[in-house]
Structure formats: C-alpha cells, structure tokens
Amino acid sequence: MKPVGRLPAGRRHRWLLAALAPVLLPVLACSDDDGASDETTSTTVAPTSTTASTTTTTAPPLPSSTTTTMFDPSTVEGEVEAAYLRSWEVYAEAVYTLELDEAALAEVFVDEHLATKTQEIADRVREGRAALVRIEHDYTIEIPQEGIAILVDTFVNHQVLIDPDTKEPIEADPNEQVVDVVRLRRDDGVWKVSRKDRA
C-alpha cells in the first residue's frame, strides 16, 4: 500500500550533530573574606592578590540535533519518521551522558529492541564507554499493514568513542556506510522501534 502524502524514496536526509570541541570553564576565584568561591560558565573574575586562581574542566553539553524531515508530519510516514529520529536522539543522549534512563528508552523502543538498548546502555555505563553519535540518514518507509512500518536506512556512521569526562574523541571517525532494516510498531498509539537488523 502506498500511503498518500509520501515523498519520493531515497531522498537524502541528513541528521548531523555538530562537531564537538572541549570547553574549559574557569572557576571564579574567591574574593570574599570568608574564603567562599562562586562558579560560573560564562564569566571569569580575576583573583585578588591574596587568592590563588583555580581552573576546572567542565564537559560541554551534547550538541543540538540539526535534524530535518522529508515526510509530511500529518501522514503515517511522517509519524514513523519522527519516531525513528526521536529514537536516535534518545540513544545519542544516553551514550553521551552515560545515564541509563529506562523511562526515556521505553518511550521510543519496545519489545526486544527495548531490552537490547537497555542492556547496551547499562553495559556502557558500567564500562565508561561514552560516544558521540553523528549520523547521515538516507531512508525509505513502507507501511505493509496498519500499525507496522518498515524503514530501511542506508546511513553514514560517524559515531566515535569519547572520553567520558572531557567528551573529546578517542578514536577516528569511521565514516562507514551501514544499512539497517528497522521495524516500528504502534504501541498504544505511539510509534516505537521494535526491531533493528543490520543488512
């Protein structure tokens, strides 16, 4: 069945997260009589002549997604597309911060894929394997039956391992093409990724 409102298959869709650069944020030196200090992320105050200056490293936040869409959001394909891209955003946040948020994962994954992703994030947290996710998507969407969607994504993977504290890359960009066949199903009215197979 070819749903109404579908754009031509194979149209390039890019989802790039901005390049990451470590940011060093100075700690404000204390100038109060009681020796207390204040910290800021944007302003540096020079220490007084009697107070030593201290500097700490604060990891930058995950860069914002620059996602654009290729399907009309009012169509079924548009709903599936939004759910698929959202699943990547949730995954990217989890592997960048190394925080296991099971509720957030359950909002975008279901069935065996929810169990797979939950275990992966738990393992990464335990091992300290943080990553920066950058993906160039190129996908097609088919709706073989009501409540089921098949998305084939031929994407370029730029995901790299990063230092969990500084967020600096610790490996080269793989820049590899990957093909995933993704199954999504409507769960209580919400599209979620239920399975993903590497082609």
pLDDT reported for residue 64: 60
* Distance separating alpha carbons of residues 96 and 103, to the nearest angstrom: 17
Answer yes or no: are the C-beta atoms of 98 and 125 closer than 8 Å: yes
pTM: 0.70
Q: What is the pLDDT of residues 122-164, one digit of tens each?
A: 999 999 999 999 999 999 999 999 999 999 999 999 999 999 9
Of 135, 154, 156, 152, which Cα lies nearest the Cα of 144?
A: 152
Torsion of CA 79, 5, 8, 2, to 10 degrees: 90
Q: Determine the average pLDDT of the residues in 168-174.
A: 96
Domain annotation for the chain: domains and CATH numbers = 24-58 (no CATH), 76-198 (3.10.450.50)
* Distance separating alpha carbons of residues 27 and 40, to the nearest angstrom: 6
* Count of CA atoms in the C-beta half-sphere (13 A) of 4: 1
Q: Is the pLDDT of residue 59 over 90?
A: no
Q: Is the dihedral of CA 159, 163, 164, 165 positive or negative?
A: negative
Q: What is the pLDDT of residues 87-135, one digit of tens each?
A: 999 999 999 999 999 999 999 999 999 999 999 999 999 999 999 999 9
